[in-house]
Structure 1
């Protein structure tokens, strides 16, 4: 009996058995959490959404609809569109297009284990973006954000308010006017390069997609860092490389812990981030030191940002009311991606569509030559461009840079009688709204810039159906920058060249962060 009691006493149990027991409990607990987040919770959310009348796809364990999304993309992207076909949604977003057609204008699909509700009503989309129903968050992928740009676009609440308040002065129209010389200098260099490349017949064949990326990369380099724009070019290259690597991860980020694995792609992304941060820190430190020594603030984005940051810090008398060096660096990364990417895709599609529709190219050139002749465009003239503005709006409608906007419920919220639990992604498909026949008419898939002849509000049956830059408090801070740059570039190109579509051009728009031409944009330039 004494021996039996001794064997049953806790002191007699080997520590290794206790450790294994604790480890087993921990593993069971973690397995339970995973099972809950990857199966029971999605199934519960699916039942809740269906009970309220929403239709959608059925949840598949872990991956949701990612597999089907990828399959449909591969099939659609293998088939180019006919020339001058602007009904691009079935090719650009085949899964989204099919889901809405099969399940209705308000339906749900699955991004991994997270339900994604699609809302195609433009009024509801504006209400979501304006936070009419309460605050929505941007969907967060913390590891990806830190590797790319943890900036204004990702912040929420008071942090977003602080960053937006400090950034706003850099994008005031009066400040943008001061950047026009940088815009025209970059465009002049591009036009001169093309002129020097003309053949004996006065023509030059070129893929304008990489040319527009270089142009807008140079513009943002000059306007962000002034005389240091050559150093900025390296940042542009690194950001482009980082974007490509991040896209490779998008199908796998739903796998718990994937981004922490030491894969070749993940290691390279960390190296790229380190080099980008190092270059930017050097530029910011150099500029801050110059400001401390009494040098005048330069009228580039970095100078304006640092000046605004210093002013807010001095007014409040508290350093935490300004941005840290690390936060300034992250905002500079956003300058690069947003400033380069949006305008490069806008200019590329504009050049392609004007090549497909030469009658509008002629009208635009006539307006430009009437206002400026062969002289450099100036702000007052750019602000009076009516036909060019109509063309840019129509390109943004048919080929919006961002195909969708997304938000996420952080608590239970009600939208038009439907209650959405916390953790639901709300997808606002700009592309589908911009191509809706019920909103834009039977010619919605046609290139008709004159629909904007009386402005945006009268271009469609719904005044709020034009959303290329978003809506509400989080509308793109750089939209005026992008449009001003696009007008300058288009004017200087059309002053010198006639644009013709090359036979080698394949009409194949596809979405990779932004809406791009898959096989380039081959154009023949003819000097005029």
Structure 2
């Protein structure tokens, strides 16, 4: 048997030697040429390692922060960026607001300079698209849906989906959203029955269920009960995919049969079947009834003509995830901040009670809630649900004075842009909704540096629904309950594809 071992060993050695030049070209020579083109334009960055790029340094810097819990806690009191993304803070101090780094085979240009952000915002070219790694590393969650696709496919998806979230359509969803909030209100009132004064409620899951119900009713023509299993599995998929966030770009990582990857593959298959069942049931009901359905799912099904089931599955997953998760997280942060700042809670409540005067909410009432709008805008500034705006140059491009080679990922860390003292003033780390008293343009100069819903032509299509949904649920809660932070609350924002409270938000709730 020894000769077989020798033959196998010799064959493997020969194969490795023959592949070595190709391997070196892909993971060093080609990326180094890109980096050199950027260096010649004065752009610097940390020195990458072979294959892994700057991942080892990112892990080292992260571990140094993790080993200093007291320092981390004091930072989290005002700014979570140095704790969640300390390497970005370190490199920004070292190399300035424009620098490059690598994760595996990805070459990334990090940008927070206002003039370059404006260039990205104003760029209408489809050649500046979403990073291709999203379709690979986040395939199970995003696939080739509207959040990750590019070119003509994205343009078609935007044409199909965006009209379903125009303000005229959203106006007609107010009663639906109020109806979706009733189980939340009833459950809290029931929990307070028989209680002496108040009780602690961990609000996160209640708000997540409410937001899921809104998306189910508004977009898919069903209640939360129908989509409950889908939302549950998408949440588990999100948590699984958030774990190794630093490994994006490492070759072969997503194919390894680790327990995490096997869980992702399994959830992906199960979610696909559930969504197709919902779509098929939707089409059967539409064909059997006298009036055709007129909702987002119907638009997606019709838009999928000739494009197969993946068009339906991927776009439904995008809406299920982005449509409910980001709004729920923002509502949770809003309640936390209002509980921590009772003076703003009282101001917002007084405005709600005056606008409503015991009547049912309608769209015109929502338009008069200026204080509540300011609170939501300030919450989105301090805790934007998405952490990054990311684009990829699908061909060689010029942004401002910088010539960017094809394949470079351009990244904007939103939280850094939202807390820049030069743009927002010396109190940029403080909760101060008053800064939005004269709108976004009055709060930040230049206004394009405020980007909670993204930037440019890829701005979130569902932002109108998100803002109306937030105003409704917060109005209803403020009109019935008073909130205070529980002594058990631990302020620990966590990055799980969105930035959310790491240990939940327990509030002391009492009836108004």
Match of 1:36 in 2: 25
Distance 1:243 1:54 in 2: 34
Match of 2:158 in 1: 164
User: Is structure 2 residue 451 aligned with structure 1 residue 467?
Assistant: yes
Give the superposition deviation at 1:133.
7.7
Give the superposition deviation at 1:84.
9.1
Distance 2:262 2:367 in 1: 47
User: Is structure 2 residue 184 aligned with structure 1 residue 184?
Assistant: no
**Counterpart selection for 1:148 from 119, 137, 141:** 141
User: Is structure 2 residue 114 aligned with structure 1 residue 122?
Assistant: yes
Deviates more, 1:208-217 or 1:496-505: 208-217
Matches within 5 A, 1:53-452: 53-76=42-65, 78-79=69-70, 81-82=73-74, 85-131=77-123, 135-141=127-133, 142-150=135-143, 151-198=145-192, 200-227=195-222, 229-306=224-301, 309=303, 319-320=305-306, 323-452=307-436
Change (3 A) 1:244 1:426: same
Match of 1:523 in 2: 507
Distance 1:201 1:217 in 2: 31
> Residues 422-473 of structure 1, C-alpha deviation per residue, up to 9 Å, x if partnerless?
2221111211111111111112112111111111112122122211111211
The 8 Å contact of residues 194 and 204 in structure 1, kept in 2 or not, is answered as: no
The 8 Å contact of residues 124 and 457 in structure 2, kept in 1 or not, is answered as: no
Give the superposition deviation at 1:128.
1.4
SS in 1 for 2:221: helix
SS in 2 for 1:377: coil
Give the superposition deviation at 1:289.
2.6
Distance 1:98 1:20 in 2: 45
Q: State the Cα RMSD in Å.
A: 2.6
Distance 1:133 1:186 in 2: 39
Give the superposition deviation at 1:72.
3.4
Deviates more, 1:371-380 or 1:357-366: 371-380
Distance 1:43 1:144 in 2: 23
Change (3 A) 1:353 1:81: farther
Give the superposition deviation at 1:353.
0.8
The 8 Å contact of residues 184 and 488 in structure 1, kept in 2 or not, is answered as: yes
Change (3 A) 1:83 1:73: closer
Give the superposition deviation at 1:235.
0.3
Change (3 A) 1:304 1:394: same
The 8 Å contact of residues 129 and 151 in structure 2, kept in 1 or not, is answered as: no
Unaligned runs of 5+ in 1: 1-17, 311-318
Distance 2:386 2:165 in 1: 21
Give the superposition deviation at 1:520.
1.5
TM-score, structure 2 as length reference: 0.91
Distance 1:278 1:288 in 2: 15
* Rg larger for: 1
TM-score, structure 1 as length reference: 0.88
Distance 2:318 2:52 in 1: 30
SS in 2 for 1:456: helix
Distance 1:372 1:449 in 2: 22
Change (3 A) 1:63 1:19: closer
Change (3 A) 1:391 1:509: same
Change (3 A) 1:149 1:474: same
The 8 Å contact of residues 346 and 396 in structure 1, kept in 2 or not, is answered as: yes
SS in 2 for 1:154: coil
Unaligned runs of 5+ in 2: 1-6
> How many residues of Structure 1 are paired with residues of Structure 2 in the alignment?
501
Match of 2:442 in 1: 458
Deviates more, 1:280-289 or 1:350-359: 280-289
Change (3 A) 1:19 1:179: same
SS in 2 for 1:442: coil
The 8 Å contact of residues 211 and 327 in structure 2, kept in 1 or not, is answered as: yes
Deviates more, 1:419-428 or 1:259-268: 259-268
User: Is structure 2 residue 482 aligned with structure 1 residue 498?
Assistant: yes
The 8 Å contact of residues 175 and 299 in structure 1, kept in 2 or not, is answered as: no
Give the superposition deviation at 1:21.
10
